């Protein structure tokens, strides 16, 4: 049974925030725009939200949050989506490295970084994947060597989203090549304007240029940029991924709602056959079920501790991530089938909304890969939630 009873205080928070949004409406982005323009609009919007403490509400108050739970964070994000807010640019900071610093960082790191994550003054990117280390993240080869009091980073990362606009990167590096592979890894932070950092943008199938190859040639950082302990990076990387699958996926889930709204608009304007209505209804119901499951996970963290912000997400986030990404892909696929006769046009008069549906369909392909592929999520669900035998050990 999935319980979705929200607390009275949570409903009050929703009401307060919706009132605030009436007086402070989010910027409207008309159609598809250049990444640099999006960054500027989204950065200013996040600053406005942060000034009234509407970002990172689940962070402790002493770090600029409101000390609320992840459910309340989810409610804020739902309100933002309802109000048509653009996606916040510093999502990796807000949903990954921020919570990780609160859980594992030093007090100096928290004081130094957290306020600027909230205000989007410093944007973050994630340097985990490498050409030979994706699903098998423990195969990371990019190394950091200690010489004359500084760590020197060399190697290559790939698929680094928003690296071209990021000020800082959180990165997993090999510091002890002789240690057992999970043990020789350390979690670092480094500024993207360091000498020795080179970026090469990669174009996605949708035409977007969000991610990059990231080359690191003797980039020097101090030991104070290690999060946790030297050699203790694996557990912190896993903790980051858990946050990504639960918290960031909830933020992304709102993309499904926006895609469903677009479909609803089209069906209302041009009329829908009985079959289309049933197909749409099924997708809507599935999307609602996925959202209910995600909310239920967030509520269970709240129930598991008197202070929910003290409870870290676990492997159940794989259910959320898998359910959401596959449902989102099916929604985008269904949208394409509605463009009979005009689906080949992405520009010009005959294109529906400047090729919005075609773009979203192509963009959605990457969603079952990013943050761990569907196969990896199924492995985690099988082994860690259902207790089935571990891969290769049966
Ligand atoms: C849109 C997008 C944004 C991304 N942004 C970032 C980012 O900002 N930072 C970052 O570090 N990374 C990022 N990534 C990278 C992402 O994390 C990796 O692509 C993902 O982890 C898969 O790794 P891989 O591409 O190396 O594929 P591989 O690991 O080589 O997998 C290839 C295929 O083999 C399957 N496979 C592999 N191992 C197993 C197994 N044990 N059992 C069953 N099947 C298996 C996979 O499911 C997949 O189908 C992004 C990816 C995308 C698509």
Query: For residue 134, how far is its CA from the centre of ligand 1 (angstroms)?
Result: 5
Q: Which is the closest atom of ligand 1 to the Cα of 204?
A: 1
CA–centroid distance, residue 245 to ligand 1 (Å): 14
Catalytic annotation on 244?
yes
Q: Are strands 168-174 and 124-127 parallel, antiparallel or unpaired?
A: parallel
If you take atom 24 of ligand 1, which residue's CA is the nearest one?
134
Q: How far is the CA of 106 from the centre of ligand 1 (A)?
A: 30
For ligand 1, whether the C-beta of 212 sits within 6 Å is: no
261 touches 83 (CB < 8 A):
no
Q: Which residue, 111, 141, 370, is CA-closest to 251?
A: 370
Q: Which residues of the chain have pLDDT under 70?
A: 1-4, 31, 302-312, 393-394
Residue whose Cα lies nearest atom 50 of ligand 1: it is 370
Ligand 1 mean position, distance from CA 68 (Å): 33
Our answer on whether the CB atom of 161 is closer than 6 Å to any ligand 1 atom is yes
Which atom of ligand 1 lies nearest, measured to the CA of 125?
8
- The verdict on the CB of residue 129 being under 6 Å from ligand 1 is yes
Rg (CA), the chain: 21
Query: Which pLDDT value is given to residue 308?
Result: 41
List the residue whose alpha carbon is closest to atom 41 of ligand 1: 376
Complete DSSP assignment for 263-295: HHHHHHHH---HHHHHHHHHHHHHHHHHHHHHH
HEC letters along 346-374: CCCCCCHHHHHHHHHHHHHHHHHCCCCCH
Pocket-testing residue among 95, 125, 157, 159, ligand 1, by greatest number of atoms within 8 A of Cβ: 159
| pLDDT at residue 348 in the model | 86
Q: In this structure, which residue's CA is closest to atom 3 in ligand 1?
A: 370
Nearest residue by C-alpha to atom 29 in ligand 1: 135
- Supply the residue whose CA is at minimum distance from atom 2 of ligand 1: 370
Residue 99: predicted pLDDT: 93
Catalytic residue among 73, 122, 244, 316: 244
pLDDT of res. 304 = 63
């Amino acid at each position: 049974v999935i319980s979705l009873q929200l607390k009275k205080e949570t409903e009050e928070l929703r009401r307060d925030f919706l009132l605030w949004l009436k007086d402070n409406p989010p910027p409207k982005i008309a159609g598809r725009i250049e990444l640099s323009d999006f960054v500027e609009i989204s950065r200013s919007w996040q600053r406005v939200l942060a000034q009234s403490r509407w970002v990172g509400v689940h962070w402790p108050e002493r770090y600029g949050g409101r000390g609320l739970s992840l459910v309340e964070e989810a409610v804020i994000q739902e309100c933002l989506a309802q109000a048509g807010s653009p996606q916040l640019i510093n999502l990796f900071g807000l949903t990954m490295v921020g919570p990780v610093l609160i859980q594992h960082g030093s007090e100096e790191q928290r004081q130094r970084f957290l306020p600027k994550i909230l205000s989007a003054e410093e944007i973050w990117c994630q340097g985990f994947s490498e050409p030979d280390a994706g699903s098998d993240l423990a195969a990371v080869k990019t190394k950091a060597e200690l010489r004359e009091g500084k760590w020197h980073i060399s190697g290559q990362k790939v698929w680094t989203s928003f690296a071209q606009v990021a000020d800082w990167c959180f990165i997993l590096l090999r510091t002890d090549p002789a240690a057992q592979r999970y043990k020789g890894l350390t979690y670092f932070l480094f500024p993207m304007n360091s000498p020795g950092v080179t970026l090469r943008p990669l174009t996605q199938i949708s035409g977007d240029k969000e991610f990059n190859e990231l080359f690191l040639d003797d980039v020097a950082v101090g030991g104070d940029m290690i999060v946790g302990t030297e050699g203790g990076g694996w557990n912190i990387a896993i903790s980051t991924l858990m946050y990504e699958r639960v918290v960031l996926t909830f933020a992304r889930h709102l993309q499904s709602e926006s895609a469903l709204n677009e479909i609803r608009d089209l069906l209302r304007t041009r009329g829908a056959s009985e079959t289309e209505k049933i197909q749409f209804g099924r997708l809507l119901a599935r999307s609602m079920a996925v959202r209910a499951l995600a909310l239920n996970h967030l509520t269970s963290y709240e129930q598991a501790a008197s202070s929910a912000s003290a409870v870290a997400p676990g492997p159940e986030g794989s259910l959320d991530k898998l359910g959401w990404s596959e449902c989102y892909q099916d929604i985008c696929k269904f949208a394409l089938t509605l463009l009979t006769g005009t689906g080949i046009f992405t520009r010009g008069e005959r294109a529906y909304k400047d090729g919005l549906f075609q773009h979203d369909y192509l963009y959605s392909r990457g969603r079952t890969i990013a943050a761990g592929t569907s196969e990896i999520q199924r492995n985690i669900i099988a082994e860690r939630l259902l207790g089935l035998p571990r891969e290769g050990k049966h």
